[in-house]
Amino acid sequence: MRATLIYGDHDIRLEDVPDPVLSTGGDAIVRVVAACVCGSDLWPYRGVVPTKAPKRIGHEFVGIVESVGPDVAKIKVGDFVIAPFYDCDMTCVNCLNGVSTSCLHGGWWGADDRSGAFADGGQGEFVRVPHADGSLVATPGLPADELIPGLLSLADVMGTGHHAAVSAGVTTGSTVVVVGDGAVGLCGVLAAKRLGASRIVAMSRHADRQAVAREFGATDIVEERGPEGIARIKELFDGIGPDCVLECVGTTESMDQALRSVRPGGTVGYVGVPNGGSELPIRLMFSSNVGANGGVAPVRNYIDELLPEVLSGAINPGRVFDLELPLAEVAEAYAAMDERRAIKVLLRP
Amino acid sequence: MRATLIYGDHDIRLEDVPDPVLSTGGDAIVRVVAACVCGSDLWPYRGVVPTKAPKRIGHEFVGIVESVGPDVAKIKVGDFVIAPFYDCDMTCVNCLNGVSTSCLHGGWWGADDRSGAFADGGQGEFVRVPHADGSLVATPGLPADELIPGLLSLADVMGTGHHAAVSAGVTTGSTVVVVGDGAVGLCGVLAAKRLGASRIVAMSRHADRQAVAREFGATDIVEERGPEGIARIKELFDGIGPDCVLECVGTTESMDQALRSVRPGGTVGYVGVPNGGSELPIRLMFSSNVGANGGVAPVRNYIDELLPEVLSGAINPGRVFDLELPLAEVAEAYAAMDERRAIKVLLRP
């Protein structure tokens, strides 16, 4: 089959690789219907995270189940399934506690599972899913084609934006600021709206992203950053700041923006993969009772709640995909996101 | 009047100082009935926080109102009152948001208020309270003498332990570990019990403190610290850790103990004044979805909820006071706490 590998800085290649084979009893082979490129894939693409040796990449996909191992009970051949951006069993204590990203038996796409068998990356034609009954969620019947982007967003960005909002404690009437206008930040706006926020500020400098943010429920746009951005946010909220800030980037600057914008006693929900190199400033947080909650989003735990709303059209997170390319053009997909020509690119094998 | 000053490392003196005078209209003079020494007073006492010039000290007191300014509406001469460890107006947006430690017009004992008039330290005979109607809470009638320690605990330690538990998200059925066996940590045990925790581990190596912890609701005691302490905690909770950890010390070691003990997706509620010099490790927190909430406890906001239970005897946080001395022996009170001969010392002017 064909699958995507990263070789290094700005070097993405589609290559022939071995077809996956069932091996552990509880696994499944999924034929990928749609995959995508994540903002976090850009860290190795940009060389911020070095790539020591060529390796498979991609962690968001939806598809059709081709085959299942003898121990798979819930997932069936022919099911249309959503996979979260990691593998998990949904039976261990961490999964049951709602933190399936800390699954005791789980793992990551593009790496060996705990039995030593390979779990393919998501940007390819097929993926072996180690814990089929845990990781995969089947839709009721085959979804209409126009629903594919929304369903694919449940693999990562919509669940991650939702995690930011939940972690920040967004509830009915909350005032919210979202730092980051990538797909996750935009989904954070949608999640905050869905949870009842009364006012949502999107921090964005790009007209296309501002438009999606408005469509998702943003009531205000702030283009300033740094000290000017903080001053503008304070000004918008009684001089003290909003109840909740969603940090959806992961740099030192974005976290600083979040922590210094939120009101005393407010909460930062953060989901940006930390790449800034600095830690959380405890004295700042202590003196004003600013909390920090979040982390790598347990999106599998959120699919059951969000899926019905995607299927009914109540929410349309698939709107973050503004470019669709065949898998053969995966290198162009990375370039388009890297150069901000696209918010998020959907790939069709 | 007589009041306590700190001159420097292990140098505490009771001296004659000017009597306070009403000056701002909304203030009151309180005759101190009982005061105490705080664990945080030991930072300057031990020289960890340098004392540049002699200054008044003490921030926990209860007393009788001697006089009030013309703008005071709620508090009356003769009232028995509890003061939080800071001054606040309880009318600004931060106070109304439940974060009275961030009062827009408040301040600290032993320092000038925002009008430039002095607000006395708590370890003295009288204190001028800048915002009498905001800061002070009057009891219904004069309390019995045996209730004084419990009422005094609402000025800081009980409210602070409660804040740690609330910040850690303790609720019915929570599993909880408390790091720190000072008065705040012990009150954290009591607060966790009161909020419905099903299992509470007190980390303590001192028999007298272990006994109070048990009395307050601790189900287990762990004496180990560092990696051994973390391993012991993990072992007690399914190998993964408790839902909530209350960090009630403020050192790098205690915060590390807290963050590495809590389960994935769990929360650290922290109230120890940060003196360790290090920041919160974001990668550790991100990878396991460990949240950190808390800060300088807005105890004034908690007095209304906790006071009836102290008055009824439903909770007895005053149990943390295990030594009572006349104000004249304030230097000995510091020494007793510094040398861990006492958990907390009550002073009677």
CATH number for the domain that contains residue A231:
3.40.50.720
Q: In angstroms, what is the C-alpha Rg of chain A?
A: 20
The reported pLDDT for the residue numbered B131 is 98
CA dist., res. A179 & res. A209, Å (int): 13
**Is A313 at the interface with chain B, CB within 8 A?**
no
DSSP A87: B
Helix (H/G/I), strand (E/B), else coil: A25: coil
Query: Does the distance separating the beta carbons of A93 and B240 come in below 8 Å?
Result: yes
Name the residue of chain A whose CA is nearest to B275's CA: A283
Helix residue spans in chain A (DSSP H)? 42-45, 93-96, 132-135, 148-153, 157-167, 183-194, 207-216, 226-236, 252-261, 282-288, 300-312, 330-338
A176, A114: one domain: no
CA-based nearest distance B262→chain A, Å? 12
pLDDT band at A281 (very low <50, low <70, confident <90, very high): very high
Sequence-ordered list of residues with C-beta below 8 angstroms from that of B289, at least 6 positions apart, any chain: A99, A101, A102, A293, A294, A295, A296, A298, B264, B265
B197, B65: one domain: no
Parent domain of A267: 159-294
Q: What count of residues does chain B have? A: 349
A314, A275: one domain: no
B178, B238: one domain: yes
Q: Which residue among B99, B267, B274 sits closest to A286, beta carbon to beta carbon?
A: B274
Side-chain-facing half-sphere of B290: CA atoms under 13 Å: 29
Structure tokens of B207?
A: 């028999």
CA-based nearest distance A145→chain B, Å? 34
B32, B81: one domain: yes
- Contact indicator for A310, A331 with CB cutoff of 8 Å: no
Query: Does the distance separating the beta carbons of B280 and A295 come in below 8 Å?
Result: no
The reported pLDDT for the residue numbered B278 is 74
Sequence-ordered list of residues with C-beta below 8 angstroms from that of A168, at least 6 positions apart, any chain: A176, A244, A245, A246, A267, A268, A269, A293, A294
For residue A278, pLDDT beyond 80: no
Query: Does the distance separating the beta carbons of B296 and A289 come in below 8 Å?
Result: yes
CA-based nearest distance A154→chain B, Å? 19
CA dist., res. A230 & res. A222, Å (int): 10
Q: What is the pTM of this model?
A: 0.96
Q: What is the CATH number of the domain that holds A144?
A: 3.90.180.10
Percent of chain B with pLDDT over 90: 96
B81, B182: one domain: no
Structure tokens of A245?
A: 């800030």
Of the residues A271, A294, A317, the one at which a domain ends: A294
Average pLDDT for chain A: 97
Structure tokens of A266?
A: 């407010």
A146, A91: one domain: yes
B87, B142: one domain: yes
pLDDT band at A292 (very low <50, low <70, confident <90, very high): very high
pLDDT band at B277 (very low <50, low <70, confident <90, very high): low
The reported pLDDT for the residue numbered A272 is 87
CA dist., res. A260 & res. A283, Å (int): 12
Look at residues B84, B291, B99, B280 and name the one whose alpha carbon lies nearest to residue A262. Answer: B99
Give the pLDDT mean for A210-225: 98
B163, B65: one domain: no
CA dist., res. A48 & res. A275, Å (int): 8
Helix (H/G/I), strand (E/B), else coil: A49: coil
Question: Quick one: CA torsion of A58, A20, A300, A346, rounded to 10 degrees?
Answer: 40
Of the residues B279, B294, B309, the one at which a domain ends: B294
The reported pLDDT for the residue numbered B232 is 97
**Is A103 at the interface with chain B, CB within 8 A?**
no
Structure tokens of A68?
A: 């299942």
Residues of A (264-283) whose Cβ lies below 8 Å from B = 264-265, 267, 270, 273-274, 278-283
The reported pLDDT for the residue numbered A276 is 67
Helix (H/G/I), strand (E/B), else coil: B205: coil
Name the residue of chain B whose CA is nearest to A273's CA: B286
Query: Does the distance separating the beta carbons of A292 and B291 come in below 8 Å?
Result: yes
How many structural domains comprise chain B? 2
Helix (H/G/I), strand (E/B), else coil: B175: strand
CA dist., res. B255 & res. B242, Å (int): 15
| Environment class of A308 (CB within 10 Å of its CB; exposed 0-12, middle 13-18, buried 19+) | exposed
End-to-end CA distance of chain A: 10
B42, B115: one domain: yes
For residue B180, pLDDT beyond 90: yes
**Is B289 at the interface with chain A, CB within 8 A?**
yes
The 3-state secondary structure of chain A reads CEEEEEEECCEEEEEECCCCCCCCCCCEEEEEEEEECCHHHHHHHCCCCCCCCCEECCCCEEEEEEEECCCCCCCCCCCEEEECCCECCCCCHHHHCCCHHHCCCCECCCEECCCCCEECCCCECEEEECCHHHHCEECCCCCCHHHHHHHHHCCCHHHHHHHHHHHCCCCCCCEEEEECCCHHHHHHHHHHHHCCCCEEEEECCCHHHHHHHHHHCCCEEECCCHHHHHHHHHHHCCCCCCCEEEECCCCHHHHHHHHHHCCCCCEEEECCCCCCCCCECHHHHHHHCCEEEECCCCCHHHHHHHHHHHHHCCCCHHHHCCEEEEHHHHHHHHHHHHCCCCCCEEEEC
Q: Which residue among B274, B286, B295 sits closest to A274, beta carbon to beta carbon?
A: B286
- Contact indicator for A157, A165 with CB cutoff of 8 Å: no
A100, A195: one domain: no
CA dist., res. A198 & res. A244, Å (int): 11
**Is B290 at the interface with chain A, CB within 8 A?**
yes
- Contact indicator for B86, B101 with CB cutoff of 8 Å: yes
The pLDDT tens digits for B28-83 are: 999 999 999 999 999 999 998 899 999 999 999 999 999 999 999 999 999 999 99
Give the pLDDT mean for A189-195: 98
B135, B100: one domain: yes
The reported pLDDT for the residue numbered A274 is 85
